[in-house]
Each structure stands twice: as structure tokens, then as C-alpha cells.
Structure 1
């Protein structure tokens, strides 16, 4: 038996295509979006006004029914549309739950 046919005998076989992806989706814990108090909103808005393009920030935000934390350089702040862009990730101000400026 040549090498190619022999190697095929030992290749993994996924009998149920998509099962692994379905199980990974089932394991994801979905959470409801938190509502911030007025004091928390004011504090978050104050911090949003302090950041500038090029700052390194850590942002925790709500996306697809879960909370995600990202650290990176601010590439754009669009106050008129309420969007913060970290590298290539666009985050709505309304979805942000926490913001830390790392170069303070």
C-alpha cells in the first residue's frame, strides 16, 4: 500500500458534521444586558470624553448576548454616532459597561 492510501486510514473522521460547532454554541452562557445606574452612566460618559485617538484602553461591552473585554489602541471616536473604534472593532457607546484608560 502506498503512503497516501495508508495515511488516509488514520485521518480523523467526523461522522456528525457540525456537531463540534453546535456543542460549542450550546456551552456558551447567554446573559441579559445590564442596566447602568445614572451615576455609572455619568462616570462612563466622563471617561469616554477623556479618551483620544491613540490611547490604549480596555473596554467591556455587550455583544451577541454575552460580555466581551477588549484591550487595544483607539483608532476612532465618533461622538455624533456614538461609536468607539478599537483597532478594527466598532463598539456602540450604549453597549459599553466598563472603560479603563490604560495610559493614565
Structure 2
């Protein structure tokens, strides 16, 4: 007795040979890891003290330029200083929260 299988459509045949992704998201993780990462520069004690002096001289509403490290590269933002939060150790510029520990340069534009 011979059993005949129903004929497959081209789409069904193509699905048989599609690559199997056993680890979902693994390819995206590899691509993310392959992206260029800029090393963070260590600031000296004098540079940290100067940043503190600059920070404490700033007032809300003042136009500032902030250069900070995002974990992958340095980013610059210019705009109005919205808030300084000494408890959470952050500043807010143009609605963007920036941790004080990530700031490498701070300057007034006024």
C-alpha cells in the first residue's frame, strides 16, 4: 500500500528551509556588541573639583553646554538648565536627565 502525500505549495516548501533561530534576539545582541564603543576618560581630582565649582555656580534657567558619557560614547547637549537634583545627583537640561557622575565638561553659554 502506497501513501501519497499532498503536494506542498512553494511557500510551504520554502518554510522548511528557513533558518532556525534557536536564540531569539541573539543576532541583535551580536550587532549591538559589534558597534563602536568609545572609552571613557578618567578625570583628575582637579578636573572634578572644577566641575563641582561650575555646577554650584549654575542657576535654573541658565543656558549651558554639557558633555557627558552615555556608556558608549560622549554626547553634547546645549540648552536651558531645568533643574539640579543634589539628592539623585542629576541635572536636567532640555528635559534630559544627566547623572552628575557622567559629566565630563560643563560650561555656561550666557
Stretches of structure 2 lacking an aligned partner (at least 5 in a row): 1-31
Q: Which has the larger radius of gyration?
A: 2
Structure 2 partner of 1:30? 37
TM-score, structure 1 as length reference: 0.70
Structure 1 partner of 2:15? none
Stretches of structure 1 lacking an aligned partner (at least 5 in a row): 1-24
Of 64, 79, 92, the residue aligned with 1:72 is: 79
Of 41, 49, 53, the residue aligned with 1:42 is: 49
TM-score, structure 2 as length reference: 0.67
Structure 2 partner of 1:85? 92
1:62 aligns with 2:73: no
Structure 1 stretches of 4+ with a deviation exceeding 4 A read 25-28
Q: CA RMSD in A?
A: 2.1
